[in-house]
Chain A
């Protein structure tokens, strides 16, 4: 019996989905204060965020919609999209038959704070908030354990604090780091993730002061910033591989979230070619980059690479590997992918199971595998 994505289909024929990117939000930005260590309350009240961007609030590149969100995702209870669990159940978890959903908290961000101590406290608060208001209330949800990557000691402590709770699917660092994520200063975080049996998730976004045209400066438009999520992911994969992170941590699994995947084949081919010529510069590597990439990197599907022809999308899947792609919706954001329509090509029942559920179940240890 083949499974279906249609919400109106009979329950027994409906495909269970693991959604690897759902965005919860505070109802009010000040609500995080209740989870923040009291020693930071005064700092929070007076100074608040200390990010690398010139505006007191908002983004250097204004987004496409308020809260980057779907117009129909505002909960009737008030509050911004993503802030009401009941409405999330009604609008997304139930109709899409989400068996498990993995949360990604984009704001507030502890990981991009310039004040490292405040950043660490904010990461802890965000993790406690996820636990109390989301995972403890909804067994289908799992958190992303957000850590301050620029303060590895605090990051490791945070992994130890929650890493065995079973409520967090992965350790989470920001995409836009001060230095490429493979560099040595970050290795204690990888060791802690491996020790706790957690993948490392990297979700697009953030700002550490490096411009969106790689090596070339600051573009003018949100459209450029939006596509630069893939430019950043290319540098991240390159860094993990060339630093030898996967030689040092053979059990480390990395999940690239909301960065697309269409760029990966060409990058892999490019790295293999360069490695043939320049391997003497990176003696820690013992195998071609493509092998490390295939073994250690997973990618979520949203925002979908929309090829001109459906079979070209299938070709991309074949090149990246069906075992490495994880369905994600990005609910409730403006460019979210609907599982019913985002994959306009034929796939076998086995492929469908892998993409929507099996790969994520195996990677994160969810459900019955």
Chain B
């Protein structure tokens, strides 16, 4: 491991928070679970029309990636729906002191913007009442309706005083690229309340999942989520979101890590050649990414040995050039690793401590309040 990666961080952080899981997924058992949190109108709509099928195709309950075999619930219930199992298999098993809950559901994707907004509000209420109230280790991400940025800002404001919500959660696809101006009020609100914006891998099917059309297989959809995140990050960079919001942090969730160095290099080359198109981007994308972007470590997308016969991870970390970028995650209940190997073996203890504790605390200001 190169020595500069092991350097002590400048900011001291408490040792009392040893392990922070920055991406795990409590799951809605179904739309009916939200009925108590919805208006009479939406309760009636859902009931009368028989609406109850908004699980995401990417993580449909039986698909291999949706749950590790030993994390599946014995009675066939949807993975992630059982608090006791989440406490046992994730929080207790990994010694997690704080965990950020990212609820993946159709609320941010459904076409009807009014329905989407109502569902997002209901999900946040449900998360607070049934998960955050039930275990002091849990923190939440505010699910916001991308279909209607004004409503998204309202939702952030409604939730901002509940300090257990530590992040705004966006799907990695919406009606247009995430850097576009109609979304800027969301970034302004997030910045104002000290909330990083988490972008979670998602497929919304407004457009084909790839630049070359609709692939045949789900495995291709999952593969495409890395390029999807690359395109969204490039949009944020080129449109000037980080120039406009100098305190904004963006966390890329569940979309791989190892693509980042070559992405940054290409973005830098392109920016040097074409910065005339985006004069508001006044420094290299490499600098901007290192300062503003964080990434969870599930999945890393790094094999034990690369084609040159060596472990590629030390080189990737050196290329990334910013050890503060990496955030620990189990991605529970998704199947990313076996046993307790949430991190690759061989990482120095100091580096592991940074990923598990210091980096998340530096990224999410509200997590520090748990230390006090």
- B223 in contact with A219 (CB, 8 Å): no
Chain B contacts for A344, CB-based, 8 A: none
| Count of chain B residues near A, Cβ 8 A | 74
B303 at the binding interface (Cβ < 8 Å): yes
Contact check, A265 vs B238: say whether CB atoms are below 8 A apart. Answer: no
| Beta-carbon contact of A176 and B207 below 8 Å | no
- The reply to whether A234 and B175 contact each other, CB–CB distance below 8 Å, is no
Interface check A227, CB cutoff 8 A: yes
**Is B177 located at the chain interface by the 8 A CB criterion?**
yes
Q: In the complex, which of the residues A219, A232, A242, A275 contacts B215, with contact meaning CB atoms closer than 8 Å?
A: A242
The complex places the Cα of A236 from the Cα of B235 at a distance, in Å, of: 22
Pairwise interchain contact A179-B218, C-beta atoms closer than 8 A? no
Contact A269 B235 (CB under 8 A): no
**Is A300's CB within 8 Å of the partner chain B?**
no
- Select one of B203, B271, B335 contacting A223, CB under 8 A: B271
Cross-chain contact B211 with A269 (CB below 8 angstroms): no
Contact for B270 among A175, A211, A223, A239, CB less than 8 A:
A223
Q: B110-118, B137-145, B148-156, B305-313: which lies at the A interface?
A: B305-313
Q: Is B135 an interface residue (CB 8 A)?
A: no
From B28-36, B45-53, B188-196, B257-265, the one touching the partner chain is B257-265
Q: How far is the CA of A243 from the CA of B214 in the complex (A)?
A: 13
Closest to B337 in A: A273
**Contact present for B312 and A265 (CB under 8 Å):** yes
Q: Report A-chain residues with C-beta under 8 Å of the C-beta of B259.
A: 263, 266-267, 270
> CA of A319 to CA of B203 in the docked complex: distance in angstroms?
30
Instruction: Give the shortest distance, in Å, between A175 (CB) and chain B (any CB).
Output: 7
Of B218, B231, B286, the most chain A CB neighbours within 10 A belong to B231
Which chain B residue shows the least CB distance to A64? B274
Measured between beta carbons, the chain A residues less than 8 angstroms from B267 are 227
The answer to whether the Cβ of A157 comes within 8 Å of any Cβ in the partner chain is no
B265 partner residues in chain A, CB cutoff 8 A: 262, 305-308
B286 touches A213 (CB 8 A): no
- A180 contacts B319, C-beta separation under 8 Å: no
Decide yes or no whether A208 CB sits under 8 A from chain B. yes
| Contact in complex: B234, A262 (CB < 8 Å) | no
Contact of B210 with A by CB under 8 A: yes
Q: What's the Cα separation between A307 and B214 when bound, in Å?
A: 32
Say yes or no for B82: interface residue by CB 8 A criterion: no
A-side interface residues, number (CB < 8 Å): 74
The answer to whether B301 touches A269, judged by C-beta atoms less than 8 angstroms apart, is: yes
Interface pair A213/B223, CB less than 8 Å apart: no
**Are A305 and B266 touching (Cβ within 8 A)?**
yes
Question: Roughly how many angstroms separate A234 CA and B301 CA in the complex, as a whole number?
Answer: 14
Contact of B274 among A226, A272, A274, A275 (CB under 8 A): A226
Which of B65, B176, B215, B261 is close to A235, meaning CB atoms less than 8 Å apart? B215
Q: Indicate whether A335 reaches chain B with its CB closer than 8 angstroms.
A: yes
Return the contact of B262 from the options A64, A239, A305 (Cβ within 8 A).
A305
A6 at the interface (CB under 8 A from B): no
Contact check, B213 vs A335: say whether CB atoms are below 8 A apart: no
B277 touches A221 (CB 8 A): yes
A180-B215, A263-B259 given; A222·B274 CB < 8 A: yes
Residue B206 at the A interface, CB < 8 A?
yes
B230: interface (CB < 8 Å): yes
Known: A223-B277, A270-B301, A273-B299. A216 touches B174 (CB 8 A): yes
User: How many angstroms between the C-alpha atoms of A219 and B224 in the bound complex?
Assistant: 17
> Would you call B80 an interface residue if the criterion is a C-beta within 8 Å of the partner chain's C-beta atoms?
no
Q: How far is the CA of A334 from the CA of B215 in the complex (A)?
A: 33
Mark A residues whose CB is within 8 Å of B.
Answer: 64, 175-183, 208, 210-224, 226-228, 230-232, 234-236, 238-239, 242-243, 260, 262-263, 265-267, 269-275, 277-278, 280-282, 290, 294, 303-308, 312, 315-316, 318-321, 334-335
A-B contact pairs, 6 of them (CB 8 A): A235-B224, A266-B258, A266-B301, A267-B259, A271-B223, A315-B319
Instruction: Rank and list the top 7 A-B pairs by shortest CB-CB distance, nearest first.
Output: A262-B262, A213-B231, A235-B210, A232-B211, A266-B258, A266-B259, A318-B308
Residues of B within 8 A of A (CB): 63-65, 172-180, 203-220, 222-228, 230-232, 234-235, 238-239, 256, 258-259, 261-263, 265-271, 273-274, 277-278, 286, 299, 301-303, 306-308, 312, 315, 319, 321, 335
Further pairs besides A235-B220, A242-B215: 13, Cβ < 8 Å: A180-B215, A183-B216, A219-B177, A220-B177, A221-B277, A232-B210, A238-B210, A242-B216, A260-B266, A263-B259, A269-B303, A273-B303, A318-B306
